[in-house]
Amino acid sequence: MSKLSMRSPWFICICAFLLRVLAIGMVQGAPGKLAHIWESGPEIVNIATAISSHRGFSSPFGIETGPTAWIPPVYPGLLAGIFLIFGQQSVLAAATILIVQAILSSLTCVPLYAIAKRTFDERSAVWSTWAWALFPYEVVLPGLFVWETCLSGFLAVSLCYLLPSECADERWGGIWAGVLWGIAALTNAALLSLMPVFLFSGYRERRMRCKGVATVVLVAVVVICPWTVRNWAVFRTLVPLRSNFGEELWKGNHPGGLGRIEFGIGPADNVAQRERYQQLGEIAYVRQRRWEALQFIRQSPIRYARLVLYRVEYWWFAQGEGAPIFIFYRLLSVLSLTGMALAWRRWRVAGTLPLFGAVVVYPLVYYLTDVYARYRYPIEPFLMVFAGYALSRAFEFRRSKMARA
């Protein structure tokens, strides 16, 4: 391949896809063994099964419990469409979902390259994009879970690239940007934390005027509203996006807890909690879990502070995870933090503010509630940009040192 093609984001994207498909085969083994993949995302899978069985958006834990807002609607809806075409929880459906996740992870290369080039330079963009394509942790993850993670990452990096542009201040540009924000919120509610960062950076860089910002926000609200109205109609309480915040707060903050997600303590994988959920109903159940978590926080503020500090450490270095793949998770943290330190003096330069803002703001809710390595994935493209900048600077320093020798 020529040097030009090796530096092309689309060539890197194709390489990334081939690697991810190969990883799916290595991780999952023979197609006949794909059946266990449904256990990796039971809430989404169960809701998708209910939708494709014409029972509506309901029953996240595999038993009839009525309507739910435990998960936002976009990804369960996508899976339900795949189930209708290829069969519920079939091997072909599993393969299709994993391939879709591999495509989304690979396509992330294209806006990632554009952001890195716009923010730093072409060399940094090439380093960043190849790092995303080749990093084992990023390669393996799309084939491990049935979850919205890869779609969230693609949406986050696409919104970062598209919104701080002049077209977002035009009427149709603002409308389409708002639609994309609405879809992002209905995919992963945590992505909304990035909206103020990206819109403010666009306004600060004079790429967007107040009218453009208002258009984006208004259209996003309009896109989200039907889901919120549906939740009001079935629950008779305000649930803007999803209902399970109390459960997430409790998972990370309860007596005897580790401070992060533990398996076997929630209704997805605990029979007693599932029966309790069924008996109380979704809203009453999460309210009770929230009350229990808040009681723990009030009674043990020092313990809570330590758990928050632990979650910060876990977010960056996966403290307590022993699998070899987490070596690359930690390596990305080291490289990206190095890149952020090198780029700090440039934070006022156009393009760097949304990257710093995303890395700082997005994890805050996880620091306060609970944390899991997969949760970091949506902002890992931004970490990869900083890592690529660090690698580029290191290469440039080495080359200049050799030239002086």
Q: Sign (positive/negative) of CA torsion 110, 115, 116, 121?
A: positive
Distance CA 41, CA 44 (A): 6
Find the mean pLDDT for residues 371-398.
92
In the prediction, which pLDDT does 36 show?
79
Find the mean pLDDT for residues 134-147.
93
Find the mean pLDDT for residues 75-104.
96
| Local confidence band at 41 (pLDDT 50, 70, 90 cut-offs) | confident
The mean-pLDDT minimum among 24-33, 277-286, 342-351, 393-402 falls in 342-351
Query: Are 76 and 88 in contact, with CB atoms under 8 Å apart?
Result: no
In the prediction, which pLDDT does 170 show?
64
Structure-model confidence comparison of residues 395 and 17, the more confident one: 17
- Taking residue 211's Cβ as centre, other Cβ atoms within 10 Å add up to 12
Per-residue pLDDT at 6 exceeds 50 = yes
The mean-pLDDT minimum among 4-13, 55-64, 370-379 falls in 4-13
| Local confidence band at 328 (pLDDT 50, 70, 90 cut-offs) | very high
| Local confidence band at 358 (pLDDT 50, 70, 90 cut-offs) | very high
In the prediction, which pLDDT does 347 show?
58
Query: What percent of the chain shows pLDDT beyond 70?
Result: 92
- Taking residue 383's Cβ as centre, other Cβ atoms within 10 Å add up to 25
In this structure, what token pair is assigned to residue 340? 């952020």
Per-residue pLDDT at 125 exceeds 90 = yes
Find the mean pLDDT for residues 121-148.
94
In the prediction, which pLDDT does 210 show?
80
Find the mean pLDDT for residues 276-290.
96
Distance CA 281, CA 275 (A): 10
Distance CA 7, CA 13 (A): 11
In the prediction, which pLDDT does 166 show?
46
- Taking only the tens place, the pLDDT of each residue in 217-254 is 999 999 999 999 999 999 999 999 999 999 999 999 99
Find the mean pLDDT for residues 140-163.
93
Torsion angle of C-alpha atoms 17, 18, 22, 25, degrees rounded to 10: 60
In the prediction, which pLDDT does 1 show?
43
What is the pLDDT of the chain when averaged over all its residues?
Answer: 91
Find the mean pLDDT for residues 316-340.
93
- Taking only the tens place, the pLDDT of each residue in 156-215 is 999 998 864 544 446 677 888 899 999 999 999 999 999 999 988 877 666 667 888 888
Find the mean pLDDT for residues 118-134.
94
Per-residue pLDDT at 107 exceeds 70 = yes
In the prediction, which pLDDT does 278 show?
95
In this structure, what token pair is assigned to residue 76? 């369960």
Give the global pTM. 0.93
In the prediction, which pLDDT does 349 show?
58
Distance CA 146, CA 44 (A): 8
| Local confidence band at 346 (pLDDT 50, 70, 90 cut-offs) | low
Find the mean pLDDT for residues 370-395.
94
In the prediction, which pLDDT does 350 show?
59
The mean-pLDDT minimum among 139-153, 314-328, 337-351 falls in 337-351
* 256-262: Cβ within 8 A, 24+ apart: 257/307, 258/320, 259/306, 259/307, 259/310, 259/311, 259/314, 259/370, 259/371, 260/310, 260/311, 260/314, 260/320, 260/370, 260/371, 260/372, 261/370, 261/371, 261/372
Distance CA 120, CA 389 (A): 7
Distance CA 264, CA 375 (A): 19
| Local confidence band at 2 (pLDDT 50, 70, 90 cut-offs) | very low
Find the mean pLDDT for residues 277-289.
96
